[in-house]
Amino acid sequence: MKKQIPSPMVLLYFLSLMLLATVLVGTLFWPFLSIIILSYLLATVFDPVYTLLTKKLTENFSSLLTCILIVLVIFVPLIFFVGALSTEAYALFQMTKGTNLAVKFTEFVEGSALLAKFKHLLEGYGIVVEVAQFGDELSKFGRTIALFIYNQASSWAANILHFIFNFLLMVLIIFFLLMDRKALLAYLMRLSPLPDDHEQLLISKFEEISKAVLVGNGICGVIQGVLGGMMFAFFNLGSPVLWGVVMGILAFLPIFGIGLVLGPAAVVLMLQGNVGQGVGMIIFYAFLSLGVEYLLKPKMVGEKVKMHTLLVFLSILGGLNVFGFLGIIYGPLIVTGFMTLAEIYLMNYDKSVKSMTYWKGWRREKDE
C-alpha cells in the first residue's frame, strides 16, 4: 500500500504542532541542559568501563557500578575540595581588604635592592613609579579575584542540597545513558533530515573532542594544578589550593598555561633573595609543562582531534566568558560543531567549489 502524500495544508499544520511541541519540550528541559550535556559527556568517557563490565555482568548492574565509580572519582573529592577552596579564597580576600596588601607590596619593593635600583633607573629617565598607587591597584585586583572565587565556592557550599540534587540527577541520567545511549542516538538520527554519514561525523567529532577535553586536558590539568599547588606549599607562597585551582584552569589554555602563575612566582622568589628557589621553580615549570604537553597529553588525546592552537585558545576564553567554568568544555565543543558543519558543507554543498571544478573541466576540454 502506497503512502498517501499529505496536502500542503496538512503538512503545514503538522509542522506547526511539531514546532510548538519542540519549543515546549525545550522549555521543560532548558533548566537541566548543562546537567544533560555533562551527563552525556561523562557517559561517553566512562563507556569503556561499562562495556568491560557488561562482559561478565548484567547491563543494569554494570551501569550501577560505573555510576558508583563516577561518584567516588568525582563527587567525593569535589566536596572536600570546595570547602578548602572557599577557606583559602576567604583568607585571600581578607588579606586584600583595606591597605594590607598595598602596604605589604610597598614594604616588599622598598626592601628589595634590585627593585630599588630598577626604580632609581626609571627615575633617571624621567619615569616616576608611584609604588603606593601601584600597590593599591594590585590590592583592588586581588580583592576582585578573591571575592569572585570565594563567592563561587561559597555558593556551592551554601547550596549544598541543590548541588547534591543536581549531581544525583546527573548520575541518574548517566545510569540510563550508559544502557540506552546508542538507541537514543539512533532515534535522533532517524529524526534528523541529514544523511546518516553526516550525522555520524558530527557525533564522532563531539565524542572525540569531549574525550580530549575531559580525559586528556582534564587529567593533565589536574596533574599540573596538584603539583603546582604542592610547589606553592613547599616554598610557602600561600594559598596552595587556590593557586592550584588557578593553575589547573590555566593548564587548559595553550601557549601560556600554568606559566602565568609559576613565572611570576619564580620572579617573586628571586626578588626576595631566594635565587636558588626561583631557579628551581623555573626548572620545575619547564619539566612539568614540557612533560605534560609534549609527552603525556599527546598519548592521552591522540591525533584524532586536531584544532588550531589559536582556535582552542579563543574558544576556551570565550567559553569562560559566556558560560563560566563550564565554558572550558562548551567552548571547544561549539567550535568543533561549527568546524564539522563547515567541513560537511565544503564537501557536499559548496556550489562555488562545484562550479569552479566544472569551469576548470570545461576549460580543459575546450583547450584540448
Q: Binning pLDDT at 50, 70 and 90, where does residue 27 land? A: very high
pLDDT > 70 fraction of the chain, expressed in percent and rounded:
67
Mean pLDDT for the stretch of residues 259-282: 78
Residue 220 CB: number of other CB atoms within 10 A? 21
Q: Binning pLDDT at 50, 70 and 90, where does residue 249 land? A: confident
- Name the residue among 243, 296, 199 with its Cα closest to residue 91: 243
DSSP summary character for residue 4: P
**Residue 360 has what pLDDT?**
46
Is 70 exceeded by the pLDDT of residue 367?
A: no
Average pLDDT, the chain: 75
DSSP result, 35-55: HHHHHHHHHHHTHHHHHHHHT
Is 80 exceeded by the pLDDT of residue 286?
A: yes
**Residue 187 has what pLDDT?**
86
Mean pLDDT for the stretch of residues 37-60: 88
Is 335 within 8 Å of 311 (Cβ atoms)?
Answer: yes
SS (H, E, C) the chain: CCCCCCCHHHHHHHHHHHHHHHHHHHHHHHHHHHHHHHHHHHHHHCHHHHHHHHCCCCHHHHHHHHHHHHHHHHHHHHHHHHHHHHHHHHHHHHHHCCCHHHHHHHHHHHHCHHHHHHHHHHHHCCCCCCHHHHHHHHHHHHHHHHHHHHHHHHHHHHCHHHHHHHHHHHHHHHHHHHHHHHHHHHHHHHHCCCCHHHHHHHHHHHHHHHHHHHHHHHHHHHHHHHHHHHHHHHCCCCCHHHHHHHHHHHCCCCCCCCHHHHHHHHHHHHHCCCHHHHHHHHHHHHHHHHHHHHHHHHHHHCCCCCCCHHHHHHHHHHHHHHHHHHHHHHHHHHHHHHHHHHHHHHHHCCHHHHHHHHHHHHHHHHHC
**Residue 101 has what pLDDT?**
53
Cell of 214: 575531559
Is 179 within 8 Å of 59 (Cβ atoms)?
Answer: yes
Is 60 exceeded by the pLDDT of residue 232?
A: yes
Mean pLDDT for the stretch of residues 99-108: 56
**Residue 362 has what pLDDT?**
42
Radius of gyration of the chain (CA): 27
**Residue 23 has what pLDDT?**
92
Q: How far is residue 241's CA from residue 246's CA, in Å, rounded to a whole number?
A: 9
**Residue 127 has what pLDDT?**
61
Three-point CA angle 139, 141, 145, nearest 5°: 115
Dihedral sign for Cα 340, 343, 349, 350, please. Answer: positive
Q: How far is residue 174's CA from residue 64's CA, in Å, rounded to a whole number?
A: 9
pLDDT > 90 fraction of the chain, expressed in percent and rounded:
8
Residue type, 279: V
Is 90 exceeded by the pLDDT of residue 290?
A: no
State pLDDT tens for residues 70-100. Answer: 888 887 777 777 666 666 666 666 665 554 5
Furthest-apart CA pair in the chain: how many Å? 96
Is 90 exceeded by the pLDDT of residue 176?
A: yes
State pLDDT tens for residues 302-314. Answer: 555 566 777 777 8
Is 60 exceeded by the pLDDT of residue 363?
A: no
Q: Binning pLDDT at 50, 70 and 90, where does residue 125 land? A: low
Is 50 exceeded by the pLDDT of residue 358?
A: no
Is 70 exceeded by the pLDDT of residue 51?
A: yes
